[in-house]
Amino acid sequence: MSIRGAILFLAVTLAGYATGASAPAKVAAERAPTYSAEIRRTAYGVPHIKADDYGGIGYGFGYASAEDNICEILDRMVTVWGQRAEFLGSGANNTNIESDLYARRLVQTGEVERLLNGPAGSPDTPSADARALVRGYIAGINRYLREVGADGITDPRCKGKPWVHALTEMDFWRHMFIGQSTTSFVAPVAQAAPPGAAQTALADDIQEVTELGSNAYGLGKEVTKGGRGVLLGNPHYPWTGVNRFYRAHFTIPGKLNIVGVSYVGMPLIRMGHNDKLAWSNTVSTARRYGYYELTLNPADPTQYRYEGQWVAMTKTPITLQVLRGGRLEATTRTLYSTRWGPVISSRTFPWTRTTAFALRQPQVGLRDVDQYMTVWQAKSVREMRTALGRYQAYRFNTTATDASGEAFFGDMGMIPNVTPALAAACSLSDLAKTQWRDQRIPVLDGSRAACAWATDPDSTQAGVFGASKTPQLFRTDYVTQSNDSYWLTNPAQPLVGYSPIFGNEDAARSLRTRLGLDQVAKRIAGTDGLPGKKFDIKTLQQVFYSDRLLGAELVRDDLVALCRRSGRAKVQPACGVLASWDMKSNLDSRGAHLFRLFVEAGGLRYKVPFSASDPVHTPNTLDVSDVRVLAALETAIDRLAELKIPIDARLGDVQGETRGGERIPIHGGLGADGAFNVIELTAPQAEKGWTEVRTGASWIFTVEFTRSGPVSQGLLTYSESVNPNSPHYADQTKLYSRKGWDDLRFTEAEVRKGTESRKLVSE
């Protein structure tokens, strides 16, 4: 029986009992619901959504995610509406005002409406299935809001608040258009004003998102015990905020079975697996934006030269309501844009009387929904590559493997098509040349049409590299990614010859990248202390949770010897602590926190420099002749004394996450220390240590394709719900603390076996 049929049967049967009418008589009169879904929750509150169509999937997911995270969903919508300042005040340093200006400008372009009304079949025009998924999702959220009302919400962050109200489909599409990770662009755009106009201090420059990172292994048949694909996905994302993940499982019998994580607020499994394909994403080094340097009219700094003519900037006045002192006050600001994009102003790129800078970004638009839905249906990494090439909507690297045992890496998003030749011909100023040379950021001459980004035959949008020109690699042994460039995805086949805008080549890799490669090599060879050779899901999990610190492995022994030779009384207790430390970041490791502060103080100084001929193992060897090494150890000791934290404390006693007043010990380390399992925390507190995780391991999942189908386990480190009153506010956090795993329950039989609650919803 279908989901819609089951719900209809249930409704008819109950109605029959209530009225005394026979069920057959009522069946003919009943109309099937527009949306219907079955929500089954397994351990840790994970929702498994089963429906007959995409509308039902969206409906069930919208309802379930609202149950867990309604305040998080609505907070993002307040941003999309451009009403943060109206409801929440101006914010620290006017951040809410700037956010509202940025969002309102994008809405006022009318671009979302244009894309929604585009030609059928275009990658920019949402498909019928995508629209059905979105309509159902919004209907599911609104169903939940009708049931509980603003005052019935149990999360104190939005209980009874005036911004709690029904959503529209347009709200969602605008949410997709504005995007998740745009905060670094907001201030330079919102604060831009011509010279002489009243303006705040210059904004910080646009920065690459440093809060995000990831690891991923795509393991092929040559290196797996079963001769099929095995995958590790390990994104390092903030534990709070707009990029928070949410576990889910979607099933349309005979059509769809996909399990993994979405973002809160999007009905899209973004990393996960189906029956033949598993994939994860990592943060890319490619620059997905660039600038145009504008030569201004000496008589009017809002006009710029283009092809020998002065062209007026487009002016967009925006009026906001700002809550101040309990009252709303209107404020109006004008934003400026050009043929290249909005005018920005920052410390490095100020708007002067002679020069301004425009920000250009390739527009993914509304493609995300269809991009992911197409990937869900892929049955191999080759099919996935085709899907990525059609939409180019991924903002990240892709690492994948399939049931046949082929692995894939690709950075196939929309990357500005800027070659070294174009950058050389179109970089006007010393600033522009320096930005390209040192930062790989194009700052091109905005006065010439010849300086427009190029377009390839297979570019899905003007000005971006075609899919065939992007870094990508198929292997039957492995591909890895830990946020360095594409170059050393597999050391046996370095990827070279790409524009610098994608990343660097022949350059030192991070300790995390090197450790990731070392772990793979040792597991293949069977030299990591685990039984046998090669990978299966069990050994992959053991490798991940080994909590090695490569920085310590490279320098600890030399540091101890230096410490002891120094004869300095202050450091002698630390010598013994470091000597007996296991060089890991386990809960019972003693010395990990001391080493962290040593690294933070600049103690990692290497004697052997980087060599492109041995990139996995260089640089190495502590430079004990550098006086900064011992000084850093003394600084670390002084810092722990100041904090009143013993230098030999267990890591689990000084590193944790606080939930509902309970301190949960957390293992893992910093990337700078050489951790693979990254956990970064807020500043330490006296006598307590590090009490709150800022970012790091978030969605951790492992998949092995077997003769009987995929076997998968994972967990969401910060748990399903942001609501402190939810039973799923800290349960997976405790699971992570004890290095546990939860079955993802991909099959119907596994879901039935693990079901702890079941709800049928329809309308």
> What CA–CA distance (Å, rounded) separates 292 from 376?
38
CA distances (Å), origin 259, targets 267, 744, 749: 12, 7, 15
Catalytic residue status for 214: yes
CA distances (Å), origin 137, targets 60, 126, 132, 133: 7, 15, 8, 6
Which H or E run contains 257?
strand 256-263
**Annotated catalytic residue within 214, 482, 585, 726:** 214
Instruction: Report the SS3 class of residue 662.
Output: strand
Number of Cβ within a 10 Å radius of residue 416: 23
Instruction: Report the SS3 class of residue 638.
Output: helix
> What CA–CA distance (Å, rounded) separates 242 from 752?
32
Which H or E run contains 628?
helix 627-643
> What CA–CA distance (Å, rounded) separates 478 from 466?
25
Contact predicate 117/173, CB 8 Å? no
> What CA–CA distance (Å, rounded) separates 88 from 78?
10
> What CA–CA distance (Å, rounded) separates 35 from 758?
17
Residues 6+ apart with CB under 8 A from 499: 418, 419, 420, 465
Q: Which residue has the tokens 């709150």?
A: 692
Strands 407-410 and 472-475 turn out to be antiparallel
Check the CA dihedral 147-148-150-156 and report its sign. Answer: negative
The DSSP letter of residue 43 is: G
Residues 6+ apart with CB under 8 A from 657: 239, 663, 664, 666, 691, 692, 693, 718, 733
For residue 666, report the phi and psi dihedrals to the nearest 5 degrees.
-125, 130
Check the CA dihedral 133-256-223-261 and report its sign. Answer: positive
For residue 676, report the phi and psi dihedrals to the nearest 5 degrees.
-90, -45
CA distances (Å), origin 50, targets 35, 59, 253, 317, 717: 12, 10, 8, 46, 25
Contact predicate 340/360, CB 8 Å? yes
Tokens for 463, please give them.
């000005």
> What CA–CA distance (Å, rounded) separates 145 from 158?
12
Strands 397-402 and 693-697 turn out to be unpaired
Cα–chain center distance at 735: 22
User: For the stretch 108-144, what's the b/e string if a residue is b when 16 or more beta carbons lie within 10 angstroms of its beta carbon?
Assistant: eeeebeebbeeeeeebbbbbebbbbbbbbbbbbbbbb
Maximum CA extent, the chain: 95
Angle between helix 572-580 and 627-643 (nearest 10):
90
Residues assigned a catalytic role: 214
